[in-house]
């Protein structure tokens, strides 16, 4: 189970908002994490605490394929991202970096900033303890749970590479 306090964002949060293109030259973790959400909310890195959860509207992570967007959120130790829907490349990058992501249409209208929520990736259950409501998203496929549980795609594929 993942539980934490919510930071809320809107629709179509794009990768330039999550990780501005001017920092694309950086892959060093300590530099990447400094710019998390900088294009949308420069205060985010100062105010977000490990385990906090991001909740947003449709198409979270749209725009470029840059993996630093998912990396930055993971490096900021955000527990999960919950959204009405995800951009597909961001979704892959998140899974590959062991950042739990779960989609449920309309969820962003239900959960408010500051709410304490809990997520079960396996069953798809999302519980908002602040307002005492719960919802069911599509359970995460086993293949994706395996990648998340192993700590990401590198760990999953390591050893499966032929030489």
Judged by CB under 8 A, the residue of 46, 47, 132, 160 near another protein is: 160
CA distances from 105 to 22, 31, 55, 90, 150 (A): 32, 34, 12, 17, 28
158 forms part of the interface with another protein (CB under 8 A): yes
Calpha distance 46→34 (Å, rounded): 9
Calpha distance 52→109 (Å, rounded): 18
The interface with another protein within residues 124-153 (CB under 8 A) comprises 141, 143, 152-153
Shortest Cβ distance from residue 3 to another protein (Å)? 27
Q: Which residues bind another protein (CB under 8 A)?
A: 11-12, 14, 16-17, 20-22, 24-27, 39, 58-59, 62-67, 70, 85-89, 92-93, 96-97, 141, 143, 152-154, 157-163
């Amino acid at each position: 189970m993942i539980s934490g306090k919510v930071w809320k964002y809107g629709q179509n949060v794009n990768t330039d908002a999550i990780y501005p293109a001017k920092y694309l030259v950086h892959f060093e973790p300590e530099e990447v994490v400094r710019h998390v959400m900088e294009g949308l909310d420069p205060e985010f890195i100062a105010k977000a605490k490990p385990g906090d959860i991001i909740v947003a509207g449709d198409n979270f992570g749209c725009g470029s394929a840059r993996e630093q967007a998912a990396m930055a959120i993971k490096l900021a130790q955000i527990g999960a991202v919950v959204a009405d829907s995800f951009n597909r490349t961001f979704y892959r990058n998140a899974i590959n970096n062991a950042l739990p992501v779960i989609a449920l249409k309309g969820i962003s209208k239900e959960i408010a900033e500051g709410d304490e929520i809990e997520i079960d990736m396996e069953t798809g259950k999302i519980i908002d303890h602040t307002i005492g409501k719960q919802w069911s998203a599509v359970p995460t496929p086993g293949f994706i749970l395996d990648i998340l549980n192993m700590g990401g795609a590198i760990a999953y594929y390591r050893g499966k590479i032929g030489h």
